[in-house]
A and B are shown apart, each in its own frame.
Chain A
Amino acid sequence: MNADNAHPALLVDPAQRIFKVARRNFVDHEIFEAEKEKIFDRCWLYLGHSSELPKPGDFISRSVAGRSILFTRDAKGQLRALLNTCPHRGAQVCRERKGNAKSFQCFYHGWVFGADGKLRSQPGEESYPEGFKGRDTSNMQAVPRYESYRDFNFVSFDPNIIPLVDYLGNAKEYLDVICDQTDAGMSIVAGSQEYSIRANWKLLTENSIDGYHAMTTHASYFDILMNSTDNMSAGTGGGFGYDLGNGHAVLEYAAPWGRPVAQWIPGWGEAGKTEIARQYDKLVGLYGKDRADRIALKNRNLFIFPNLVVNDIMALTVRTYFPMAPDYMVINAWALAPNDETAWARKYRLNNFLEFLGPGGFATPDDAEALEHCQRGFRNSKEAMWNDISKGMGKDKSSHNDELQMRAFWTQWNRQMFPTPIPSIKDVAA
């Protein structure tokens, strides 16, 4: 697996505008194992949104990078991320996916914990020394690090990781633009899309920030969109791709679809026109015309390294995914929406979401098919060794359908996986 000169993970030569990714990175079991330690144990990983736990006692059990996490709001209203394992003998304490509870009882020997993870009681207490309950080791353990930004909650298994706000870096500003769609806060809409793709997880990273594939992979979606927009002129102004540092990246661009906040399309009729105008005017009042235009009329595919995508497009989706094998990933996706939007807007938002997004939409299944066919194509990776992601290299400003975003991801991935410099292309037979 060594990224030595004989087997580099990347081949980069800015002068010749070469950026190649070894297909081995998508199929190799040693790389898959190393990613657990060097990527997923060393990054901030999205856990969930604060709105998913509105009341004290609310809980969600969720899997993050192979760990079983119990995400709770304790009696005082504080959010906590606990490792869902009994300090006694290891059983998963909470076996429900979500709910509201005053306490959690491990069914194996009956130990009872509060939503703060503290041991409350255990059968046969008299057989334990005095003060046993007061020991830290008697409580459910918190994740090593847990922080949040604008209601996006993250965990890290690296106790020494930099603070979340520093990690997010330049991506923070884009999260702000997305969260500023309203001044009333945002919530996850009920209903989780929990699906999978039989492909390497990094293919979904690439696909999520790929402005190049849309017109071919999603040709059949754009056929349908034509019917609801009358024409495609509204959103053909193009856009740009940005490397945000730390492996994060974003596309920002105009597009022909309707945006619930706030770009009207003829398919939404006069009622929609009034509502969208009201939304837009409110944004102008809050932030002035320039920022309002950016929030309302521009689309963003925001990628936060290594596995969080926030797409602010025809709807707002939060998507996170984890590798289970080199050729299999699981994906969780949610719809995010302003708390104060009207019933009309909520309905059209969800309608818009389902048209394009998710495993039953008119686009996501074709993305999944593309990714799975890449994975199949990689069966030839011993002979056909390289992916090319050089599109737009050397430009002063990268277009949204160039591949700068992928280069940003892979550069960070390589930095964490192989801290030694990328071998010079001259030393490698390309």
Chain B
Amino acid sequence: MHSVSRSDVEDFLFAEADLLDQWRLPEWLTLFTDDAKYEVPCTDLPPDASPDTNLFYIADDRVRLGERVKRLMKRTAHAEFPHSKTSRMVGNVRIRARTDDEMEVSCVFQTLRTKDGTTDLYFGTSNYRLTTNGDGLKIREKRCLLGSEGLRPHGRISIVL
């Protein structure tokens, strides 16, 4: 399906960022395939490290990603109650590879999060595997490579990157 252009991918990623900024997480979850993964490796690991043999910050399969969304919509997800305000910027979008039903996409992200008078910046590169069969694009894998050394001073990834 070579007709998917970079601007189609950009539209998709911008829409994803918008859903996250609006805390429409259940809707955001429908962007993922049933076998999807969402991963954030520790910053001292190589970008292609496996979560089966290395300690990550986040390594969700689709089931746990669902739990993450459910949790974040509850009052008892204390770190995000009341919900923080976020602003996501996605750029430098590039299509790295294509197969018949899948494409590899990379982009840079800068996400600002404000809560209780403190604003933090998360930044780095996201690598996506997007499926291109069926109706529109879906995310099979989203791996966020933080550009920072560790997670300081924000100290947590309580939002979705």
Give residues in A with beta carbon < 8 Å to B.
Answer: 97-98, 189-198, 217, 219-221, 223-224, 227, 328, 330-331, 334-335, 343, 346-347, 350-351, 353-355, 358-360, 362, 364-366, 368-370, 372, 376
Contacts and interface: CB of A to CB of B under 8 A. Distances in A.
A191 B56 contact: yes
A354 B67 CA distance: 13
B71 A354 contact: no
Contacts of A360: 40, 56-58, 156-157
10 tightest CB-CB pairs across the interface, nearest first? A194-B150, A191-B55, A360-B57, A365-B79, A360-B58, A191-B42, A196-B155, A365-B158, A195-B151, A369-B79
A196 B151 contact: yes
Given A189-B55, A350-B55, A350-B56, A194 B152 contact: yes
B76 interface: yes
B153 A328 contact: yes
Contacts of A219: 76
A207 to B, nearest CB: 13
A346 to B, nearest CB: 6
B156 A220 contact: no
B43 interface: yes
Nearest to A362: B71
B51 A350 contact: yes
18 contacts: A97-B44, A190-B45, A192-B150, A193-B42, A193-B55, A196-B154, A221-B71, A343-B52, A355-B64, A359-B155, A360-B156, A365-B80, A365-B156, A366-B77, A368-B79, A368-B156, A369-B78, A370-B78
Contacts of B52: 343, 346-347, 350
A364 to B, nearest CB: 7
B24 interface: no
B94 interface: no
B59 interface: yes
B71 A195 contact: no
Contact of A220 (B43, B55, B56, B74): B74
Contact of B156 (A195, A221, A224): A195
Contact of A330 (B56, B77, B152): B152
A330 B80 CA distance: 21
B5 interface: no
A359 B151 contact: yes
Given A223-B71, A328-B153, A193 B57 contact: yes
B58 A192 contact: no
B59 A354 contact: yes
B55 A190 contact: yes
A143 to B, nearest CB: 23
B53 A189 contact: yes
Given A194-B43, A194-B149, A369-B79, 6 more contacts: A347-B52, A359-B151, A360-B157, A364-B156, A365-B158, A376-B116
